[in-house]
Amino acid sequence: MTKKIVVLPGDGIGPEIMNEASRVLDVVNQSHKLGIEVDTHAFGGASYDIDGKPLTETALAACREADAILMGSIGGPQYDTAPRELRPERGLLRLRSELDLFSNLRPAMLFPELASASSLKSELVAGLDLMILRELTGGIYFGQPRGEETVDGKRMSFNTMVYNEDEIERIARSGFEIARSRNKRLCSVDKANVLEVSELWRAVVIEVSKDYPDIELSHMYVDNAAMQLVREPKQFDVIVTSNLFGDILSDAAAMLTGSIGMLPSASLDKNGKGLYEPVHGSAPDIAGQGVANPLATILSLSMMLRYTLKEAAAADAIDKAVSAVISGGTRCRDIASGQANETVVGTVEMGDAVIAALGNA
Ligand code: IPM
Ligand code: MG
């Protein structure tokens, strides 16, 4: 049976890292007889440059029909002056919203060999494996009303942080389910000491918890959660939180590993269809130099094979190949720490190394 995936390379380092992920996909597609067909579309700034908008109807329709989507990264300073509605980020937000990809899994885990790349002391992060589950299609990112006005001669802007109980319930359920498949601890992060929307969030999470008596639920205010993430990150198993808080906390969590260039993510709808992308951004400062680390995109591919396409053997093969490359000392410069056994390579060489390791598996 043919499976269709849409590839959206995007902007900045996106096309470079996606080339390597695509080469890896070609290899496993053949070796594991996956029968995957790939359809590539411009997205973000690249699409704006060609078609005047970050997400065309053609690309959106292709994403809707596909079994899964693999994305590189979007954005860049050259688009900062584009009309707000046409900026690359708006394309991504629209795609998330149109496909109802409400459940955003952002794992932060540390490859043991990379502990010294963290800005925290190795003992604080060694063995770190936490999952941030971010609500992705609601909250202040999409809340109405939003806009700008002039009031009493002064410019004023506003956004609305809003959740209804159904939106909270479905992300809470995802959180409990994920915790169940891991270490059975769920920490819900909110700002219930100040915000009404967080009071409802907390109340609904507690209601849902009645269906998950085997999961240990805790609650934490977002400011404390930010502090605890850098103080003692290993206290967490799964964190579930709203769109904006999750945006911020997931960057902090990713950096704890010292290797944001290694972290994949998934955004899923209620049927498990998903958009997969690296956690890192488009890194315009190093775009086109051939030094970007493609491993987060390659691991996003593996996550896609595992979670949406149910091709665990192919996913295992990729994960093993990446681990072998890391243990062998091959590093892109973002994860290099100057140890004697390291070889620092560029984007394409890293892709070559993963493909060679796949051949040895
Ligand atoms: C992310 C990014 C996006 C977000 C931007 C690019 C719109 O920061 O995926 O975390 O804020 O959600
Ligand atoms: Mg972000």
How much is the pLDDT for 38? Answer: 98
**Of 11, 190, 237, 247, which one is the catalytic site residue?**
247
Residue 345 C-alpha to ligand 2 middle, in angstroms? 27
Calculate the average pLDDT of the chain: 95
Integer Cα distance of 56 and 65 in angstroms: 14
Q: Give me 131's structure tokens.
A: 């999952």
Say if residue 361's pLDDT is above 70: no
Catalytic site residue 247? yes
Q: Which of 215, 240, 256 is the last residue in one of the domains?
A: 256
**Of 223, 270, 285, 310, which one is the catalytic site residue?**
223
Say if residue 250 is in the same domain as residue 263.
Answer: no
Say if residue 321 is in the same domain as residue 357.
Answer: yes
pTM of this structure: 0.93
For residue range 198-212, list pLDDT tens digits in order.
999 999 999 999 999
For residue range 102-117, list pLDDT tens digits in order.
999 999 988 888 888 8
Structure-token match 């932060």, residue found: 108
68 φ, ψ (degrees, to nearest 5):
-160, 165
Q: Which residues surround ligand 2, an ion (CB under 5 A)?
A: 247
Ligand 1 pocket member 89 (CB < 6 A): yes
Strand partners, 163: none
How much is the pLDDT for 338? Answer: 83
Are the C-beta atoms of residues 223 and 192 closer than 8 Å to each other? no
Integer Cα distance of 86 and 77 in angstroms: 14
Q: Which domain holds residue 231?
A: 136-256
Structure-token match 């609305």, residue found: 160
Residue 350 within a domain: yes
Q: Which of 207, 230, 256 is the last residue in one of the domains?
A: 256
For residue range 130-150, list pLDDT tens digits in order.
999 999 999 999 999 999 999
38 φ, ψ (degrees, to nearest 5):
-115, 135
Q: Give me 329's structure tokens.
A: 């000392």
Structure-token match 């404390």, residue found: 224
**Of 48, 79, 141, 307, which one is the catalytic site residue?**
141
Say if residue 91 is in the same domain as residue 157.
Answer: no
Catalytic site residue 251? yes
Integer Cα distance of 80 and 42 in angstroms: 19
Residue 310 within a domain: yes
Say if residue 27 is in the same domain as residue 93.
Answer: yes
Which residues have a Cβ under 8 Å from the Cβ of 190 and sit 6 or more positions away?
198, 201, 202, 219, 220, 221, 222, 241, 242, 245
Q: Which of 221, 256, 291 is the last residue in one of the domains?
A: 256
Ligand nearest to the CA of 243: 1
Residue 125 within a domain: no
How much is the pLDDT for 114? Answer: 86
Ligand nearest to the CA of 141: 1
Residue ID of nearest Cα to ligand 1 atom 2: 247
Residue 249 C-alpha to ligand 2 middle, in angstroms? 9
Percent of all residues in the chain with a pLDDT value above 90, rounded to a whole number:
89
Ligand 1 pocket member 253 (CB < 6 A): no
Give the C-alpha distances (Å, rounded to integers) separating 237 from 175, 229, 325. Answer: 11, 11, 27
**Residue 168 sits in a domain of what CATH number?**
3.40.50.2300
